[in-house]
Amino acid sequence: MSEAKKTTDHKEIQKWAEQHGGKPSIIKGTEKDGSGEGVLRIHFPKKSDSNESFEEVSWEEFFKEFEHSKLALLHDPNGNFNKLVKRD
């Protein structure tokens, strides 16, 4: 893995995810009172055996919760490694 990069730039996150086959998702069962908000992930369905655990959402929904939760993406620019972390 090359050195991980931390970003909050929506366009950069979306471009990186799409280049690597990632989809904006929430983990099923983590939604809050039917609000649609839940634990965010960038899911790679072609590289995962647990696709049933994830529900794909729009980028708009993903970034709304991303901003609300004050998250940043820590990722490998050249690979699939990624982790959503607090911005501070």
Dump pLDDT digits (tens) for 30-54.
Answer: 777 655 568 899 998 877 666 688 8
Percent share of the chain, pLDDT over 70: 88
Q: What is the pLDDT of residue 80?
A: 84
Categorize the per-residue pLDDT at 60 as very low, low, confident or very high, splitting at 50, 70 and 90.
very high
Query: Which candidate, 19, 13, 38, 42, places its Cα nearest to that of 28?
Result: 38
pTM across the whole model = 0.85
- Output phi, psi for 34, to 5 deg: 70, 10
- Dihedral sign of CA atoms 75, 80, 81, 82 in order: positive
Q: Are 81 and 4 in contact (CB under 8 A)?
A: yes
To 5 degrees, how large is the angle CA 73–CA 65–CA 69?
70
Q: Are 71 and 33 in contact (CB under 8 A)?
A: no
**Who has greater pLDDT, 73 or 48?**
73
